[in-house]
Amino acid sequence: MILYFSGTGNSLAISRHIAEKLNETVMPLSQAVHQDLSRERRIGLVYPSYWFNAPRAVTELLPRLQLPKEGYVFIVIPCGAQAGNAIHTVQKLLADKGLPLAYSQKIRVPDNSAVGFGRDPNKQVWKFEKYAARLERITEEIAAGTHSLHYAWWGPIGALCARPGMQRRTLPMLTPAVNADLCVGCGICADVCPQGNIALTEGKALCGDNCTQCLACVHFCPQQAVELNRKPTPKAHQYHHPKITVGDMKKNVFSQSK
């Protein structure tokens, strides 16, 4: 079983690739919390690195998972460049559940947060071709049951970025808000939000206070009505994995049901 969290489809696409090679099933973390996974022999966790750490959605959902007491557990981090503490943090959460991490790796993908700093993530699509062989090697190592931990330590960049002051100054740059003048109430942003953090009110989208800065709403909005720092997002800078559609992302949405 491969469990994923995805904002713009990078993690979902990589999960599907690994699952196809390993004959495994993929499932969003938000659905996995309602499943009994205690009989699974292999558990994969695929999620991005947000500000050099695991997304808050991952750290909140993981303790709720019913995982096996023993088995092969691996983590793969799709990230723009650095994994930071994204593996280290989840490794500790797994240890709290009595489950050791067997394998971890990162793989570089287009950085969807680049749009928050005025850059075009689509100019990074070269990473898919450059790191295709690396993804195959990672998949082969997982299939072979390789025990090898990479990027599973508390590094200096992660330590710096984990300081509350750093996050307070930077997270507002990556927290979306809806421009009501541009919003047409199509609901796509609500459909793709993996946190269920966006609702339509009187025909307009409205962001709640449970954002994890995945930026799915920013990248999928057809009207460019979801803004960062009160600045419109150029259509040319909107990004999602080329093989992932809005329909795929709808299956990734958070559920509060028991």
The secondary structure of 57-70 as a DSSP string is: HHHHHGGG-B--SS
At residue 153, the pLDDT reads 79
Question: Each residue of 67-91: pLDDT tens digit?
Answer: 998 899 999 999 998 898 999 999 9
At residue 78, the pLDDT reads 97
**Statement: residue 197 has pLDDT above 90:** yes
| 186-195, 206-215, 245-254: least confidently modelled range | 245-254
At residue 161, the pLDDT reads 67
pLDDT classification of 41: cutoffs 50, 70, 90:
very high
Helix, strand, coil in percent for the chain, rounding step 5:
40, 20, 45
Tokens of 239: 């990004």
What mean pLDDT value characterizes the chain? 91
**Statement: residue 47 has pLDDT above 50:** yes
In angstroms, what is the C-alpha Rg of the chain? 18
- For the residues 221-245, what does the mean pLDDT come to? 93
pLDDT classification of 167: cutoffs 50, 70, 90:
low
Contacts of 159 (CB under 8 A, 6+ apart): 85
- How far CA 168 is from CA of 114, 137, 171, 172, in Å, comes to 18, 38, 6, 7
At residue 82, the pLDDT reads 86
At residue 256, the pLDDT reads 43
Question: Each residue of 203-230: pLDDT tens digit?
Answer: 999 999 999 999 999 999 999 999 998 8
At residue 253, the pLDDT reads 64
- For the residues 119-126, what does the mean pLDDT come to? 95
pLDDT classification of 257: cutoffs 50, 70, 90:
very low
Identify the H or E element spanning 2: strand 2-4
- For the residues 134-154, what does the mean pLDDT come to? 94
At residue 117, the pLDDT reads 85
At residue 251, the pLDDT reads 72
**Residue 71, CB-side half-sphere exposure with 13 Å CA sphere:** 17
